[in-house]
Structure 1
């Protein structure tokens, strides 16, 4: 359907040849009338009078009908207006299709500037937190790894087994005291997501990380879905009393006992709302995932291996025309993403590099780098001051 309809004339227009024929017929009729008048004046007068009266009446009725019955023109206008409106709706629905002029960060930047997407979804993993310096408890030779070996676990990951936690929560709290209490700050990748939120582009951030750095960056909580949970909130395993991140952090820093117990029921163990092996994904994940990905108009994937399901399968849940950007140190998701297949690729972009490097380049292409730099420096300064105050409290407690 064309978005522009040709305007139809209100009345048909005669061709020059047709006008000449009509004129000739009119002249012939007048001659015939004159001849008839000469032979039978009386009859002709009556006939002429009758003919003129009939002609006048017919002409008057036709004019009256045209003047008082504008429905044909109104109908045409209605149809034309309806078709134009329908065409605009169809164009809006197809807006992102073919939106990438190049399968590169430049193409993504141009897409954002041109279409101003409002339902961008970020899907992120551990790679966006690497530069924050979070300790790795799974690598042999590191302090955290060596520390948990005393518990004789089959693997470091067993520390996140719900069966082990219910049987003996000590190994987890021993790890948590060292893992969660380091003075880590959000990375440029975290702040880029916040900047996108503030500019009105983001629908949701789906993170597989439990480090709460998305919250710490200042991104509003309603924009974040922690697919594997986090210690942003905690829950008593007995009475279900809930606690915020500050309560849990203060316990790890200043608590007399290693394991956190509920202030309400006194005996229940308080567990961070992290999804342990053997537990279901958070309710908030299921509440938002379907509608979010149906509305998505740009998917940005950063720092994830795309091997942990069901989260990894979400990259195939956006509509077929929606662009997908992968920022990662190595190519992943080749079974679904088409960035390595020039013949079939119509929307996928792969930037090979760290999440921080990728977002900085994209921010520069968008003209946002000064804003991003200012945000990072300002927020890091605030966090340094907060960490300094916490250290003073810890030292005071030791004394």
Structure 2
């Protein structure tokens, strides 16, 4: 286990803006309603790359697929006619093959101690539930993999058939013969609206006495606006690889820059929760190992490489057919001209 690498970036004008003060206020009960916003950064140590990190992020990894633009893989317009790239990476990113991280466990520990007021997550992996966070305390703002439906006619699709398709690397299609639309997990793609519950739950941000933001670039609206809804004077804690959003603009802001897992371990140390956190995490991982459905599956890079090869093969066949046809017509024209012009 590496030592904590997270560092603090604290506004120079701050009087209370430090992680020790936040920990003290949690311990003495002055902070008891923590509102949390999470992004891909809390799941990277589970084997899911974030989206935008250079070379290691998902969007860079997708380059071999030669998409019109990286985000197209998650855009409903692109998915509606080309679902293959999405399902090429589905097995590697399916939550059935993933275990919760210690960052997930920390949030579960907050819930266990009655400190988690509400959690907004932009992630679709559902690892929050695997870690033991009560579902009534979570809004999956972008949906999750728990169910699926036909993108076209909205008909629900059986879980067992979905699992089989993902395991086999196939695109599942609607069971209605007259439809034929591709099946889509109940996740929010670009071009689709967030759940109605999002507008209803936004108000809980103003009820919190700490806004905790973890593992997100704060570049995707409307979740990116949530930290701004925290009341003035309420501390906002960012645990992230780099500064994001408007953090640093308020004297109460605290930024712990580094991996999320390192940040929560440091905070747990300050709170005196480290042993309890590690135990809770181990129990969650052990429980998930007992129910894994997709063990020994291909890696994300392997899935992308396989799909890229298939796409190149299809393109090669298409080009080959075109060249063969052009050569055939050229030969026919040459033969015709060698016999002289047609009299017809």
TM-score above 0.5, yes or no: yes
Q: Aligned with 2:104: secondary structure?
A: helix
Residue number in structure 2 paired with 1:361: 266
Q: Aligned with 2:139: secondary structure?
A: strand
Residue number in structure 1 paired with 2:283: 378
- TM-score normalised per structure 1: 0.62
Q: Aligned pair count?
A: 283
Residue number in structure 2 paired with 1:227: 141
Give the whole-Å Cα distance in 2 for the aligned partners of 1:293 and 1:393: 39
Alpha carbons of structure 1 residues 133 and 392: separation in structure 2 relative to 1, 3 Å:
closer
Cα shift readout 1:333-386 (whole Å, capped 9, x = no counterpart): 3x45336xxxxx1x2222222211111111122221121111111221222233
Residue number in structure 2 paired with 1:112: 26
Residue number in structure 1 paired with 2:223: 311
Contact 1:116–1:201 under 8 Å retained in 2: no
| 1:165 aligned onto 2:70 | no
- The match for 1:203 among 101, 117, 133 is 117
Q: CA deviation at 1:292?
A: 0.9
Q: CA deviation at 1:168?
A: 2.4
Q: CA deviation at 1:230?
A: 2.4
Residue number in structure 2 paired with 1:261: 173
Q: CA deviation at 1:188?
A: 0.8
Task: Tell which structure's C-alpha radius of gyration is larger.
Answer: 1
Q: Aligned with 1:175: secondary structure?
A: helix
Residue number in structure 2 paired with 1:273: 186
| 1:338 aligned onto 2:249 | yes
Q: Aligned with 2:97: secondary structure?
A: coil
Moved over 6 A (4+): 136-139, 141-148, 244-247
Q: Which has the larger helix fraction?
A: 1
Which sections of structure 1, spanning at least 5 residues, go unmatched?
A: 1-99, 340-344, 395-399
Cα shift readout 1:85-108 (whole Å, capped 9, x = no counterpart): xxxxxxxxxxxxxxx973222111
Contact 2:247–2:253 under 8 Å retained in 1: no
Root mean square deviation, CA, Å = 3.2
Cα shift readout 1:294-329 (whole Å, capped 9, x = no counterpart): 212210011112222221111111111211111122
Contact 1:137–1:156 under 8 Å retained in 2: no
Cα shift readout 1:194-218 (whole Å, capped 9, x = no counterpart): 1101111112111122222222222
Alpha carbons of structure 1 residues 147 and 321: separation in structure 2 relative to 1, 3 Å:
closer
Which has the higher relative contact order, 1 or 2, with Cα contacts under 8 A spaced 6 or more apart? 2
Alpha carbons of structure 1 residues 248 and 285: separation in structure 2 relative to 1, 3 Å:
farther
Alpha carbons of structure 1 residues 181 and 294: separation in structure 2 relative to 1, 3 Å:
closer
